[in-house]
Amino acid sequence: MTESHGRPRPGPAGSDGEPVYADRVYRSVPGVISGVLLLAVAAWLIGDAALNGSGKTPWVSLAAIPVFAFPVIAYTLRPAVRADERRLVVRNPLRTITAPWAAVDALRAGYSVELLAEGKKYQVWAVPVSLRQRKRAARARERGGEQHSSRLGMVLGAGGTPSGAGVQGSTDPNRAWSDQVVAVLQEMAERNASRPDAAGPVVVRWCWWIIAPTLAGLIALITVIAV
């Protein structure tokens, strides 16, 4: 697990005699909060329509549940980045990219965070870039290195314990949260790329448990409205 102050707690020694640390998990906290609020509001509105509506309204509202709920889950609650000593796992709304460190060419943060691996580019949804945060971080550095407190995200340990506003392992807390995350992941890629267990191809898997119910709900919604 990861302790509340953000330092990884060493576990049992690995095969090379070095301690094994918990995975690092990054996600956008505002995204999660907005997703929970959207689902709560939708549950209230759809529930009211299903219970008190007349005619086709209850059926339309019920058919709309997967069309609304699954995309909200995909774009707000699902995105996350998990990194350990062997690989980087990027969980985007509709697919999951698993990239062993040896296959990672670079990570960069421009107007969005991108993973470059095996000549392909993948967006990293879980780490949003905020130009406003960058400006605030620059002002903090100009004031003499005053620590910049991030509001866009936080580091979570394997058990979901928040580790604070800064990014675990970052050498410059006076940077925007997304830039700190990218710097830490880039350093992990460079450090672990030569590990024998960090080799292999990039694997991309589509999230069918999101896609299939959404499409089925859309067909059902169109059918209910048309009939």
Which residues in 29-171 belong to E strands, given as ranges?
80-83, 87-91, 95-100, 104-109, 113-117, 120-123, 153-156
Q: CA-CA distances (angstroms) from residue 223 to 59, 219, 227?
A: 10, 6, 6
Query: What is the three-class DSSP state of 76?
Result: helix
Distance of CA 125 to the CA centre of its chain: 6
State the pLDDT at residue 171.
56
Name the token pair of 58: 């209850």
Q: How far apart are CA 40 and CA 69, in angstroms?
A: 10
For residue 89, the number of C-alpha atoms closer than 13 Å in the C-beta half-sphere is 14
Place of tokens 């100009």: 142
Give the pLDDT score at 62. Answer: 94
Q: What is the DSSP string of 158-195?
A: TT--B--SSPTT-S-TTS-HHHHHHHHHHHHHHHHTT-
Please give the chain's pLDDT, 227 residues, in tens: 333 333 444 444 454 544 455 588 999 999 999 999 999 999 999 999 999 998 899 999 999 999 999 999 999 999 999 999 999 999 999 999 999 999 999 999 888 999 999 999 999 999 999 888 888 877 777 776 544 444 444 444 443 333 335 676 565 666 788 889 999 999 999 999 999 999 999 999 999 999 999 999 999 999 999 98
pLDDT on residue 122? 96
208 residue type, one letter: W
- Dist. CA 11–CA 39, nearest whole Å: 37
Q: Which pLDDT does position 185 carry in this prediction? A: 94
- The residues facing 153 across adjacent strands are 28
* Domain spans in the chain, listed from the N-terminal domain onward: 24-226
Look up the pTM and report it: 0.78
Tell me which residue of 134, 139, 165 sits closest to 150, measured CA to CA.
165
CA separation, residue 55 to residues 60, 63, 67, 169 (Å): 10, 14, 20, 58
- When computed from its CA atoms, the radius of gyration of the chain, rounded to whole angstroms, is 21
Distances (CA, A) of 2 to 7, 23, 35, 108, 153: 6, 9, 25, 26, 16
Confidence (pLDDT) at 208: 96
Which residue has 């609020």 as its token pair? 37
